[in-house]
Amino acid sequence: MYWRIKRFQSLTAEKFTLILPVVVVCIILSGLFVYASWYMPEYRDVTVDVPWYSLDGRYEYGAVVSEENPLWPVGTTLTDNPVYFFAAAPELQTTFSFLAEGETVDLNVVSHTMAVLSMKESDATYWSKEVIIAEHAGPLQSGIYQNSFTLDMRDMQRRLNEIKEYLDFQRGTPVVDIVTTAVFTGTVDGKPVNEHRVYLMPITLGAGHYSISDNLSFTEAVTARQTRTVEVYPPMHQQYAAVLLLLISVGMLLWVVISRAPRFKPSAGMLQALEQEAAHARYRDWMSRGRFDHSITAHRIELGSLEDIISAAVDMNQRVIYDNDETTYFFVHDNILYIYKPA
């Protein structure tokens, strides 16, 4: 292995003027590759969603006690109860609030509120009827719009019962959905807005009572689509491959320079040894390892090169024996010793 390295070093030194320009070009190209991979991104226009403003729609209510009863004084407002009773608090004071938050909000709101009376069971709605409750319009004041109205739950119960009796159909659960559609127009942060949202307040009616859903607040983040220019770099494996190519090119340059250095210039003896090593490797298939016996008394013929003794052995259908310690090639045929010993 050592002699192969030395031979390759010698060939590099001999071809220095041819190899050096090639290596320099490789370094330049790999350096440009590294610079382009790490410091020259591609610029692309992409569409992204960015925060614009936020919306918050909610219902707030209170069941006002308007009938004499043994539990609450008349005029009491009940909130957060699991159920409310028609006999004590048949009316529900309700406020719908609509909030919009942004840097600069200038919106006008029109709200339409209706009660949808229906009979439901699981995912099925057997019938429904819409009843207009309130319509209101106005601007956002300090970012908030409010509309208050009163729901007569006893009256809604009566209407539901009338429809059930008329249809003679008793299946399902009576439900009153308060549906508010808010249409808002204007500008937010100087950009035009013309949108609408629908907000729901479910009320379930029972025998002598009603209950209200807990989920009465709805928050939404509105986004705007913008086109931005972003930097796109090559994948990491390409960047590291560029660095690896540059390191290999620099290593090649160091090898060429070291091979050319005077202290590494091979001597005549080294060159001869390299040539012998190459010849030995070339004819390895025609040789076997062994030990030369100096006591051989056969007639002796010395050949001038490894190629000569290999040719003679092939002609005589023999194998050449190589003694590594004596650096001697030989074989015996018809009591004649054929031998080659490198100088």
Q: Is it the case that residue 180 has pLDDT exceeding 90?
A: yes
Q: Is it the case that residue 193 has pLDDT exceeding 90?
A: yes
Give the pLDDT of residue 53. Answer: 93
Q: Is it the case that residue 269 has pLDDT exceeding 70?
A: no
Cα–Cα distance measured from residue 92 to residue 329, given in angstroms and rounded to the nearest whole number: 117
**pLDDT tens figures, 103-129:** 889 999 999 999 999 999 888 999 999
Q: What is the mean pLDDT of residues 167-177?
A: 91
**pLDDT tens figures, 141-171:** 778 999 999 999 999 999 999 999 999 988 8
Most confident of 35-39, 52-56, 302-306: 52-56
Give the pLDDT of residue 266. Answer: 55
Give the pLDDT of residue 11. Answer: 62
Q: What is the mean pLDDT of residues 307-322?
A: 89
Cα–Cα distance measured from residue 89 to residue 104, given in angstroms and rounded to the nearest whole number: 42
Give the pLDDT of residue 279. Answer: 76
Q: Is it the case that residue 8 has pLDDT exceeding 70?
A: no
- What separation in angstroms does the CA of 89 have from each of 20, 49, 152, 234, 297? 99, 47, 9, 69, 135
Which domains, ranges and CATH numbers included, belong to the chain? 50-229 (2.60.40)
In the chain, the percentage of residues whose pLDDT exceeds 70 is 91
Cα–Cα distance measured from residue 176 to residue 192, given in angstroms and rounded to the nearest whole number: 35
The per-residue pLDDT of the chain, averaged, comes to 87
